[in-house]
Amino acid sequence: MSSKDISDFLTDLDNVGGTIFRCDFIKRTNGEYRKMVARRGVTKGVKGVGMAYNPRAKQLLGVWDMQKQAFRMIPYDNIILLKAKGKVKIDINRLNALGKNKKKEVLASI
């Protein structure tokens, strides 16, 4: 899945506003597989100062993590699956790299 695919998917979500979606990815810090339910466009708790960097320039996606109730960054280059409103985008190459058991778990949960 290219950055353009991710960008197009997120543009569709942003046009609707506040859509909740699922994102499976590999964390940059420790290589751990993570399944996240997230939302874009959340402004509650934002102080209005802005970030010290541009997340898109670093290929990061800023989201509100619905499970941990905190803002998180998801690396574009590690996204395996995006799912929202009945649409699913899967990066087959990254999915195959997960290993047989994790691959089955991801596919079973779609």
Convert the pLDDT of each residue in 10-29 to its tens digit. Answer: 777 666 667 889 999 999 89
Domain ranges of the chain: 3-108
C-alpha span between 58 and 65 (Å, rounded): 19
Q: How far is CA 35 from CA 15, 16, 46, 47, 51, in A?
A: 24, 23, 24, 28, 25
The whole-number pLDDT of residue 16 equals 63
Q: How many CB atoms lie within 10 A of CB 6?
A: 20
Q: Is the pLDDT of residue 95 over 90?
A: no
pTM of full prediction above 0.85: no
pLDDT tens across 81-91, in order? 989 888 888 88
Mean pLDDT in residue range 67-96: 88
Nearest to 4 by CA among 110, 89, 103, 107: 89
